[in-house]
Amino acid sequence: MEDAGCSRKCVIIASLALVVTCTWLAAAQFTPSVRWFVTEDVSDGWDAGFAACVSGDYVYVVGYSSAEGGKEFRVEMRDRASGDLVRAWILNPSEGRDMLGDCLVAGGRLYVVGTDERPGNPEWVILVFDLDLNLLANVTSNPTDEMDQALSVTSDGEYLYIAGSASTRWRIEKRRLEDLSLVEVRTLEPGEHPTYIRSIAINPATSELWGVGMTIAESRASWYIVILDRDLERVRMVAPGIEGAASSVAFDEEGYAYVVGEGAVAKFDEQGEVIKVDRRYNGTKALYWGGHLYAASATAPVITGEGRRILPRLRLLVFDKNLSQVEEIALGEERGYFPVGKMGFDGESLYIAGLYEASEGNAGWIIFSVAIAPPRAACPWRIEDMKIASTRVTFGEPLEIEVSLSRSGLLLTVTAFNRELGEEFVLFNSTAESKVVKVAGRGLPAGNYTITAYPGGRPECGFKPLEVE
Ligand SMILES: [Ca+2]
Ligand SMILES: [Ca+2]
């Protein structure tokens, strides 16, 4: 499980910092700050949160806690505003290391991927919950008698794309969102030695999948990236010659890819050509928003005077599009790691899950909410879980939104009471839980966006909200 970044043996886990800028708006510089954080020492052993996903008033966090003989699944539902625990769901399917690595909210359901050891060896597991954390489905697949683990999930709104390992190979499954039925499987063998895929995401500019991870040659780990079409046909393999492991990828509105991992952060063009590599930084979770890359990062373990390895401090790094660092935010005083697994984002705040060292040999969950954009004024309308299924959306009365697509994002023209109010621009990002519909012959990521419609098209909220006339 070392590649999951969750065990004490794991080499380095860098976290992904999310940077948000509203470049298309009159950009006011906003310094990210920790809004709240919670620590929770679930058991006397090693417990780790992996991924956070947001929907409505809640943040859902998935991971594991220690249980009799091994690990057990743990999913938490927390209040988005305060971090307070609302509900926890646990399941211990085997006496082995059962763990959950990533999550996704789509179509009003929470999808979670991970690994259990029910067959006596590790297998993939996919769980589906309603948003009150009631389990709706539990599907497994066990491609080999050896260690198989699912680590990452993304979706285009119609299919899930799940990435992980099957013994020493990379494995990607394409499943229908609706019923989890298996549509396609691809296994890749990047090297002769054990290799790991760590995460998968869709580049909205090309609609292609990027799987990032590592391969090992001559006892040295190095970054490895595969670009696939959505039939899982291989488009390109990229070995950029960076020591360590790539952990997470995010895309900007032009289709450039920002990859964070052990050993570096790097920028690629949409073909996978290296634009820039900076080996001074590392990260495990990446999110791009509004002109900035946010990377949750735990810097390298520190060696004390007595030669003891201690866990690093938790950090959020912010970069501009040239990969120049613009902020470094200390996330508390605890030492720990950010495993792979998404950061949640609600348009204002990031939600970042990881682990902290509670005492020698004992780790607990740690969850941060980090504001990266100013609080929205009371006047904008906030529209959550809006499904865009056509070019025109009516959201109750009297709001109507016309949707159009440009290369860099989704343009929403907002109309209320038959008056055009302005335009809002929705940047694509790799965590958009989206559904693809065709608009003017192009694939349009649409689906569960959180969209804020500003009267007048400006976030400064210079207009009072329209009231029913
Ligand atoms: Ca513990
Ligand atoms: Ca297996």
DSSP 391-426: SEEEETTTEEEEEEEETTEEEEEEEETTEEEEEEEE
Q: Per-residue pLDDT tens for 394-412?
A: 444 344 555 544 444 455 5
Query: Which ligand is closest in space to the CA of residue 39?
Result: 1
Tell me how far the alpha carbon of residue 48 lies from the centroid of ligand 1, in angstroms.
8
Q: What are the distances in angstroms from CA 396 to CA 55, 399, 434?
A: 20, 6, 21
- Answer yes or no: are the C-beta atoms of 354 and 386 closer than 8 Å: no
Closest of 217, 216, 213 to residue 226, by C-alpha: 213
- Answer yes or no: are the C-beta atoms of 352 and 6 closer than 8 Å: no
Nearest-angstrom CA–CA distance, 83 and 55: 14
Report the share of the chain in percent with pLDDT over 70: 71
Tell me how far the alpha carbon of residue 119 lies from the centroid of ligand 2, in angstroms.
7
Q: Per-residue pLDDT tens for 292-327?
A: 999 999 766 666 777 777 888 999 999 999 999 999
Phi, psi of 79 (to 5 degrees): -70, 125
Query: Which ligand is closest in space to the CA of residue 46?
Result: 1
Q: Which of these ranges, 52-61, 111-120, 390-399, 449-458, has the smallest mean pLDDT?
A: 449-458
Position of tokens 């120049």? Answer: 324
Specify the pLDDT at position 40.
Answer: 96
Superfamily for the 2-371 domain: YVTN repeat-like/Quinoprotein amine dehydrogenase (2.130.10.10)
Specify the pLDDT at position 109.
Answer: 94
- Average pLDDT along the chain: 78
Query: Has residue 28 got a pLDDT over 50?
Result: no
Cα torsion 430, 436, 438, 441: sign: positive
Tell me how far the alpha carbon of residue 112 lies from the centroid of ligand 2, in angstroms.
18
Tell me how far the alpha carbon of residue 266 lies from the centroid of ligand 1, in angstroms.
34
Q: What average pLDDT score do residues 248-271 get?
A: 95
Q: Per-residue pLDDT tens for 199-217?
A: 999 998 899 999 999 998 8
Q: What average pLDDT score do residues 235-259 get?
A: 94
Closest of 335, 351, 293 to residue 318, by C-alpha: 293
Question: Pairing relation of β-strands 48-55 and 58-67?
Answer: antiparallel
Query: Has residue 263 got a pLDDT over 70?
Result: yes
- Answer yes or no: are the C-beta atoms of 173 and 182 closer than 8 Å: yes
Specify the pLDDT at position 373.
Answer: 85
46 pairs with which residues across the strands? 363
CA dihedral 247→251→255→260, nearest 10 degrees, is -30
Tell me how far the alpha carbon of residue 197 lies from the centroid of ligand 2, in angstroms.
16
- For the chain, the structural domain boundaries read 2-371, 381-457
- Answer yes or no: are the C-beta atoms of 387 and 447 closer than 8 Å: yes
Q: Which of these ranges, 89-93, 286-290, 336-340, 377-381, has the smallest mean pLDDT?
A: 377-381
Query: Which ligand is closest in space to the CA of residue 171?
Result: 2
Tell me how far the alpha carbon of residue 185 lies from the centroid of ligand 2, in angstroms.
16
Tell me how far the alpha carbon of residue 231 lies from the centroid of ligand 2, in angstroms.
24
Structure tokens at 196: 């790991």
Specify the pLDDT at position 309.
Answer: 76
Most confident of 24-28, 105-109, 428-432: 105-109
Helix, coil or strand: residue 457: helix
Query: Has residue 359 got a pLDDT over 70?
Result: yes
Task: Assign 3-class secondary structure to 112-152.
Answer: EEEEECCCCCCEEEEEEEECCCCEEEEEEECCCCCCEEEEE
Tell me how far the alpha carbon of residue 148 lies from the centroid of ligand 2, in angstroms.
5
Which residues are CB-neighbours of 418 under 8 A, at least 6 positions away? 398
At residue 340, what is the residue type? V
Tell me how far the alpha carbon of residue 109 lies from the centroid of ligand 1, in angstroms.
29
Specify the pLDDT at position 196.
Answer: 82
Nearest-angstrom CA–CA distance, 371 and 30: 9
Specify the pLDDT at position 212.
Answer: 96
Query: Which ligand is closest in space to the CA of residue 144?
Result: 2
What confidence category does residue 340 fall into, taking pLDDT thresholds of 50, 70 and 90?
A: very high
Nearest-angstrom CA–CA distance, 140 and 112: 12
Tell me how far the alpha carbon of residue 52 lies from the centroid of ligand 1, in angstroms.
19
Closest of 457, 414, 410, 456 to residue 432, by C-alpha: 410
Query: Has residue 281 got a pLDDT over 90?
Result: yes
What confidence category does residue 235 fall into, taking pLDDT thresholds of 50, 70 and 90?
A: confident
Query: Which ligand is closest in space to the CA of residue 358?
Result: 1
Q: Which of these ranges, 17-31, 351-365, 381-395, 402-416, has the smallest mean pLDDT?
A: 17-31
Tell me how far the alpha carbon of residue 323 lies from the centroid of ligand 2, in angstroms.
39
Which residues are CB-neighbours of 163 under 8 A, at least 6 positions away? 150, 151, 152, 153, 170, 171, 172, 197, 198, 199, 200, 211
- Answer yes or no: are the C-beta atoms of 337 and 349 closer than 8 Å: no
DSSP string for 142-207: --SSS-EEEEEEEE-SSEEEEEEEETTEEEEEEEETTT--EEEEEEE--SSS--EEEEEEEETTTT
Query: Which ligand is closest in space to the CA of residue 42?
Result: 1
